[in-house]
Amino acid sequence: MAETPVRGGVHVVGVGADGWDGVPASLQALVVEADVVVGGERHLAMLPDRVAAERMAWPSPLRDALPGLVEAWDGRRVVVLASGDPYVAGIGTTLQDFVPADRLVVHPAVSSVALARARMGWPAEAATVLRHAGELPRHAAPGHRILLLSADATTPGAVARALVERGLGASRLTALGHLGGADESRVEGVAADWDHAVPTLHVLAIEVVGRPAVAGLGWVAGLPDDAFDHDGQITKRDLRASALARLAPTPGALLWDVGAGAGSVGIEWMRAHPTCRTVAVESHPDRVVRIARNAMRLGVPDLGVVQGRAPDALVDLPTPDAVFVGGGATRDGVLEAAWEALRPGGRLVVHAVTLETERVVVDWAARLGGELTRVSVETAQPIGTFTGWTPARAVVQWAVTKSPKETVS
């Protein structure tokens, strides 16, 4: 039996594709007894006449309006209608940021993801759920199964084209429409031949088949340099892997990539785990565009880019768990701002190529400690008809962890 809504409480009721008739009687009673019912136009339209509550459609943009809405709900019985499980890419997750935990009660229905797994016969541990088609490049590995929460009816076509471009045109796509409803549908095909109409409301099941056109794009740090579009301003593969090992990405952690260049460090940070976040700071407008393009192509479309020059561009950014300074360390105030902003326990990694930057880094290391490493990389290249080692510029890498008591002196 569902609990009775308290005054000032917010109940979120999950609704399946079968609509009002599929809502359990106890939860229908919550809706009938509410002072306010909130939801999308589709959900509000399904309510019977006996629901006398004020009906409120979600405003746009939603997050900007929510603080005022939540304040207006105080002291009233509020029911929010949501699709399926409100905690699967749903409104329940958003409301957590605005409604205190003791006022928020969620009543999930069977999610579209669970129904899609059942229809495909895929165990939960055998498939990855994606909420954005832009994440697909990171997961498009042969043999992998993916459930994509499609944005609209155009998503399968876009996914099919992306798979073909990656040499994965043999991948099998299944669009599962209106799961759990009377008009549930199933449309199947191969990416290379995809030309099917699908309903707007669907989950796309993807079985990745084929040999990728670009090899070596694994999740371990150190993607090939040519995986990134760049103008030469890029942290090279071996140095990037070394920096990321010391930056130590963890789930949910935020990186500042200062002087981001091609965005390679920040992109690989986000590829380490789906919840890792990056803010890339870059002053050159062409590189800003290039960073966003690289992020999209490599499956981390949510990477944030700030156009500006540190330290001014670092003001008001969210508190970082790690900071990488690949350029601009000699500029007044850059390292001071990065160190001051860094969360206790956070990691700072700085690369120095020039003697001027090296002097700055060595001075900071003398004050704060940490690990100084001089990295030299040589690659085998032709010398006439023979082969010899060609050295790249040596780089001094400083890595330091901030303890709660450390400050700039």
The predicted-structure confidence for 40-80, as pLDDT tens digits, reads as follows 999 999 999 999 999 999 998 999 999 999 999 988 999 99
CB atoms near residue 98 (< 10 Å): 15
- Tell me how far apart the alpha carbons of residues 379 and 46 are, in angstroms, rounded to a whole number: 66
- Residue found by looking up tokens 């010398």 in the block: 383
Q: What is the pLDDT of residue 219?
A: 86
What ranges make up the beta strands (E) of 150-201?
A: 172-177, 185-190
* Per-domain residue ranges of the chain: 10-109, 114-207, 225-401
Q: Per the CATH hierarchy, to which homologous superfamily does domain 10-109 belong? A: Tetrapyrrole methylase, N-terminal domain (3.40.1010.10)
Domains 10-109 and 225-401 agree in fold? no
Tens-place pLDDT, residues 99-137: 999 899 999 999 999 999 999 999 999 999 999 999 999
Dihedral (Cα; 132, 138, 143, 148), 10-degree rounding: 0
Tens-place pLDDT, residues 128-180: 999 999 999 999 999 999 999 999 999 999 999 999 999 999 999 999 999 99
The CATH architecture one would assign to domain 225-401 is: 3-Layer(aba) Sandwich (3.40)
For 283-326, where are the alpha helices, taking DSSP H only?
Answer: 285-297
Q: What is the pLDDT of residue 216?
A: 62
Write out the DSSP string of 346-382. Answer: -EEEEEE-SHHHHHHHHHHHHHH--EEEEE--EEEEE
Tens-place pLDDT, residues 323-346: 999 988 999 999 999 999 999 999
- Tell me how far apart the alpha carbons of residues 80 and 38 are, in angstroms, rounded to a whole number: 5
- Tell me how far apart the alpha carbons of residues 143 and 149 are, in angstroms, rounded to a whole number: 20
- Tell me how far apart the alpha carbons of residues 382 and 283 are, in angstroms, rounded to a whole number: 37
In CATH terms, is domain 114-207 a member of 3.30.950.10? yes
Global pTM value: 0.85
**201-227 in b/e burial notation, b at 16+ Cβ within 10 A?**
bbbbbbbbbbebeeeebeeebbbeeeb
